[in-house]
Amino acid sequence: MLGLNKIKEAKAKADELKNNLEHMLFEEERENGMIQVAVNGNRKITKLKINESLLRVREGWEIEEKVQDALNTALGKAEFYAEQELKKLMPNIPGLNF
């Protein structure tokens, strides 16, 4: 059984990880860099850039699909990284799914 100190230590490490993730960027590009997105490790969008020349040569729905794809990929990378780091910190507690 985990002692209270171990739980406090794990929480402190998890809080530190969350703070560190705030400063990590996961970036994606589409259309040869004409669409750029970035999210931080806490899965918040930090950048969304669309080159306006792309608006002249692509339909709106095409751009929306590319932006969604780029965001989903970047968010997936951030989530995967955060999960891997959290697994390193947290003990194997049944029911927590870490």
- DSSP SS3 for 50: strand
pLDDT confidence band for 7 (50 / 70 / 90)? confident
pLDDT > 80? residue 90: no
Element (H, E) at 29: strand 25-30
**Average pLDDT score over residue span 1-28:** 84
State the pLDDT at residue 12: 84
So what's the pLDDT on residue 91? 61
Whole-prediction pTM: 0.79
Rounded to 5 degrees, what are φ and ψ at 44?
-110, 135
Q: What is the pLDDT of residues 43-85, one digit of tens each?
A: 999 999 999 999 999 999 999 999 999 999 999 999 999 989 8
